Structure 1
């Protein structure tokens, strides 16, 4: 296939107004390797497609979930060396962070857009709501949905296993993880009430849980993000740390309960697609430093269990 250099493109566009208009309404999304970032960024992509834009998504989580987004064009993640050839013809290229996953993108693409200021703004809303608002204001969309348009394959049944509680006791970093023994204590309490908690962990995380297997619920791991999504979609509930799995559960319409170490983090990163509750350290823990050090010990099983009861009451009486 013949390729035009960027100068030739500019000259060609000047003589082809229809091509220039088409490129102006085309966007590529370079997705973070983090699942939660990707799911929230897809809110903007979904709303652009609703408004008639041509959109392509580049990211491995998105590629795995392609069947769940039939209205979006999904491609595998790009490497730095191939990005220029694949992205040059798009009028807009969106990446959540300024320098990752593609470090040089901001330097060479004239239509580069990042969400740095949106993520770190002094704004009480969660990312799902912030990104939807950004789609309105930056792209001038007349209406937006706080949705990424995720749809389950037809063979799956939403919340088929109504008593199954998907519990994610892990997180990307240790400072986000509530105590393992308390997750186990919570699971035992839920089992006593007739629920069926199951722990979901990545293959690389199983070694931390195998010594606790005699007291922990069943450990589930999945081949890829699509298999994980199918299991979550048919679960009744989700409980976990601040992690991408909470955003996935929320995007799938599963009620979520998320344990956070700080209020400001929770304001930004609570799952925002669906009904959810959060748990924070109690107010009486003094100073930010002590909260950061002792938040795990300060959050009791009883506190999380009580929040789960509140969540169930909210779901029973929808707003």
Structure 2
């Protein structure tokens, strides 16, 4: 796209309002870096990112509950997670949903305008086809390219000025054993077996949760180190000193992938499911070798092949 026809030009003010969930926040952060590479002045309204603003040079991070109306008044364009939709009609606000817009939301009306030009497809879902095999990172890049006209061949900056890496970082494994949705969680007995196997092979295994889970996790994983963090900076600082993240389908895997770590995602879903971590090529999905329905529930946890994780990490040098 020529400079004269480009939608996003240097100096344009763009605000992003991500969904509060960690995985969704990493996606909008990817889009922020794409816009930054095009020369836009980018603001991100996010409670969680406020604690890591020092790792995000060039981005204006605004903490607290986002004020979409105020952001629309002070920016040329706002790209906002549908979670924060306001009833006030705003011609420069584009709404994004993960896979589905709310019933009754018309993505064609009213159109989103930028400097008087209509942005076709501005209101959209990130994932347009769950069976296409693309990750959500690939889908957000497609939105950046096809809707905003951004050049996705340009490199993105990523997190900067992270803490110095400790000497034992290449031996450290972080396991995220929980999510807000119990149906997604692998069994605690399975995670205990996995931790024992990896520890016996020289890995330093630690479990990670939210502060409200700390006592519960300590009881479920006796003898193991359990970490919790009050803000995103604490978690980022910890993961920057890890080599591997093992998680359910959760934000921990996405953040680990964003930081360039090797990730294993335990899920009952197919291996190319859309929400797998996709910020680097070091992700593996570990799904059951079989599953079946029993009394209305899907039985899958006993059939997760943990040996695949153990074997994959056997090829990684542990100092």
- 2:95 paired with 1:114: yes
CA spacing shift, 1:308–1:120, aligned 2, 3 Å: farther
SS in 2 for 1:268: coil
- 2:279 paired with 1:273: yes
- 2:113 paired with 1:126: no
Gaps of 5+ in 1: 1-20
SS in 2 for 1:211: helix
SS in 2 for 1:108: coil
C-alpha distance in structure 2 between counterparts of 1:189 and 1:263, whole Å: 25
**Residue 179 of structure 2: which of 171, 196, 199 is its match?**
171
Q: Which moved more, 1:167-176 or 1:143-152?
A: 143-152
Contact 2:14 2:78 in 1 (8 A): yes
Query: Superposition pairs for residues 101-250 of structure 1, below 5 Å?
Result: 102-104=84-86, 107-116=88-97, 117-122=125-130, 123-144=132-153, 149-153=158-162, 155-157=163-165, 160-214=168-222, 216-250=223-257
Size of the aligned set, in residue pairs, is 282
Gaps of 5+ in 2: 1-7, 98-124
Q: Deviations over 1:180-207 (max 9, x none)?
A: 0110111011111111101011111123
Quote the residue 1:251 is aligned against: 258
Quote the residue 2:307 is aligned against: 305
- 2:53 paired with 1:66: yes
The two structures, once aligned, show a CA RMSD in angstroms of 2.7
Q: Could you say which structure has the higher strand fraction?
A: 2
C-alpha distance in structure 1 between counterparts of 2:146 and 2:167, whole Å: 35
**Residue 72 of structure 2: which of 70, 79, 87 is its match?**
87
C-alpha distance in structure 1 between counterparts of 2:227 and 2:134, whole Å: 32
- 2:291 paired with 1:285: yes
4+ long deviations beyond 6 Å: 21-24
Q: Could you say which structure has the higher helix fraction?
A: 1
Contact 1:164 1:235 in 2 (8 A): yes
C-alpha distance in structure 2 between counterparts of 1:169 and 1:250, whole Å: 17
* TM-score, scaled relative to structure 2: 0.80
